[in-house]
Amino acid sequence: MRNHWTTPPPLIRPDLLVTYDIGQERFVSPLNFNPDVSEYWSAFERDKLFGAHHDAFSSKMNGCGYMNPEYEEADVEQALQWAVRASETADPVCFLAVYPEWGKERYMNLLRHRNVSVVARFQRSTFAFLPPGHWASSSDGGLRAG
């Protein structure tokens, strides 16, 4: 994983998690998942030791969730195609996705799909990911954003 970063807490904040009833996060690891989300999927089977599900594509996308795939064009395209296919079922699905908009990538065409809505865009200078180690232990043994 070359782009192993954490989405900043102000973007995926608790009220947003509650509003959208987000209960799953896809394409993360034990080092960068949001601890306020109950289930997460990692690319590595060994991460099951830390409570992760293995392989985001191994289970049906359902309900509400959040995803931030690796920022490699093929990975982003595969994740967005998978989300669009999941949206074409009778079951309700709502996933918030964070992805780069660099220019003329093929996956940008997926944004025009009838089941996709772009709800926000960020200028490059206004958005920065956090390193995986931004979670630090507090004195009471809990986690806090560092």
Per-residue pLDDT of the chain (146 residues; tens, 9 = 90+): 455 667 766 667 788 888 889 999 999 888 888 888 899 999 899 999 999 999 999 888 888 999 988 888 888 889 999 988 888 888 888 888 888 777 777 788 888 888 888 887 777 776 666 666 555 443 333 333 43
CA distance 113 to 125: 28
pLDDT at 59: 87
pLDDT at 12: 74
CB 52 within 8 A of CB 40: yes
Integer angstrom CA distances of residue 107 from 46, 56, 62, 69, 118: 30, 18, 21, 13, 13
CB 118 within 8 A of CB 89: no
Q: What is the pTM of this model?
A: 0.76
pLDDT at 26: 93
The string of DSSP letters for 29-77 reads -TTTS-TTSSEEEES-GGGGGGTPEE-GGGS---EEEEE---SSHHHHH
pLDDT at 132: 63
Question: Nearest Cα to 11, choosing from 140, 109, 120, 139?
Answer: 120
